[in-house]
């Protein structure tokens, strides 16, 4: 990795590998619609495009340079985008026929089918996400990701994939791996933010710098190393509470709206029923 001293965060560097990956996702998305001979669902396409734009913004330009070379807090903004913003947007923006087309062959296999069904259930999904968050924010693997670009790519892919799995019980667009009931979604979202909150609390409460890479990095703001680390913890902490709360509210109102309206009975029918009971 390039030495921080040799990098300016204002250059707005664009990474060809990131753009190539985003372009592949966009091409596959459009090609799937054409292959299925379906009209593009404008609302879903807009959301999917927003997910790709968020991904491009997080992994390119000033935010990426600040994250990789100078500020822990900037890196936590990046991780929040990759776990709490991009995955739900991707799930909402992807139509059911695309997901089912990919999932059905996997589900038919003896090993991968049960594994996929298990991983997308609420408890395993949340556990995988929690384990990934905890592991990748430990000092040793975190430092390794900063020092080695390939390992950093793995870190981001693992965080994004486990976050997508974690959002699955609520936002799954699939008919073969559907979301859980509204009641279960409400309970699930109640605890969804706990893993990130726990990691953020440990980082915010630390009395010393946890990541030597940032301790050795040039100061590009007035924040010292410990203040930057605590700010990064807070950046994780606040969205971990707010975003699941927003999702909780949306799910709750959808649940209420899905309940059948009470049937209004004709008073004459009530009187007839009462007369029938009294005649017995």
pLDDT tens digits, one per residue of 208-237: 999 999 999 888 888 899 999 999 999 999
The position carrying tokens 């029923």 is 273
Looking at the predicted structure, is the pLDDT value of residue 266 above 70? Answer: no
Q: Which residues of 196-225 are buried (b: 16+ CB within 10 A; e: fewer)?
A: bbebbeebbeeeebbbebbeebeebeebeb
**Residue 8 pLDDT:** 59
| HSE-CB of 172 using CA atoms within 13 angstroms | 23
**Residue 16 pLDDT:** 87
273 lies in some domain: no
> What is the overall mean pLDDT for the chain?
89
Q: What confidence tens digit (pLDDT) does each residue in 89-104 have?
A: 999 999 999 999 999 9
265 lies in some domain: no
The residue-averaged pLDDT of 246-254 equals 93
275 lies in some domain: no
226 lies in some domain: yes
219 lies in some domain: yes
Q: Which residues, in sequence order, are CB contacts of 145 under 8 Å at separation 6+?
A: 136, 151, 152, 154, 155
Total number of domains in the chain: 1
279 lies in some domain: no
| pLDDT category of residue 15 using cuts at 50, 70 and 90 | confident
- Residue numbers of the domain that contains 243: 4-259
264 lies in some domain: no
Q: Are 41 and 11 in contact (CB under 8 A)?
A: no
Looking at the predicted structure, is the pLDDT value of residue 50 above 90? Answer: yes
Q: What confidence tens digit (pLDDT) does each residue in 178-218 have?
A: 999 999 999 999 999 999 999 999 999 999 999 999 999 88
280 lies in some domain: no
């Amino acid at each position: 990795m390039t030495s921080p001293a040799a990098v300016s965060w204002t250059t707005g560097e664009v990474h060809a590998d990131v753009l190539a990956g985003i372009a592949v996702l966009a091409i596959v998305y459009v090609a799937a619609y054409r292959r299925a001979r379906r009209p593009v669902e404008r609302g879903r396409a807009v959301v999917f495009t927003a997910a790709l734009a968020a991904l491009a913004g997080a992994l390119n330009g000033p935010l990426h340079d600040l994250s990789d070379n100078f500020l822990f807090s900037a890196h936590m903004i990046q991780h929040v985008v990759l776990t709490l913003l991009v995955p739900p947007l991707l799930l909402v923006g992807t139509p059911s026929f695309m997901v089912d087309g990919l999932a059905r062959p996997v589900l038919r296999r003896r090993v991968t089918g049960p594994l996929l069904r298990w991983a997308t259930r609420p408890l395993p999904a949340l556990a995988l996400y929690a384990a990934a968050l905890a592991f990748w924010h430990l000092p040793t693997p975190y430092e390794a990701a900063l020092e080695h670009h390939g390992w950093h790519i793995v870190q981001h892919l693992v965080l994004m994939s486990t976050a997508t799995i974690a959002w699955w019980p609520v936002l799954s667009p699939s008919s073969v791996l559907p979301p859980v009931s509204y009641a279960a979604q409400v309970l699930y979202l109640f605890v969804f933010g706990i893993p990130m909150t726990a990691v953020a609390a440990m980082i915010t409460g630390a009395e010393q710098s946890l990541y030597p890479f940032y301790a050795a990095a040039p100061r590009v703001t007035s924040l010292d190393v410990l203040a930057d680390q605590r700010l990064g913890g807070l950046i994780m902490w606040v969205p971990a509470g707010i975003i699941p709360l927003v999702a909780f509210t949306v799910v709750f109102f959808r649940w209420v709206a899905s309940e059948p309206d009470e049937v209004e009975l004709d008073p004459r029918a009530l009187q007839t029923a009462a007369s029938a009971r009294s005649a017995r």
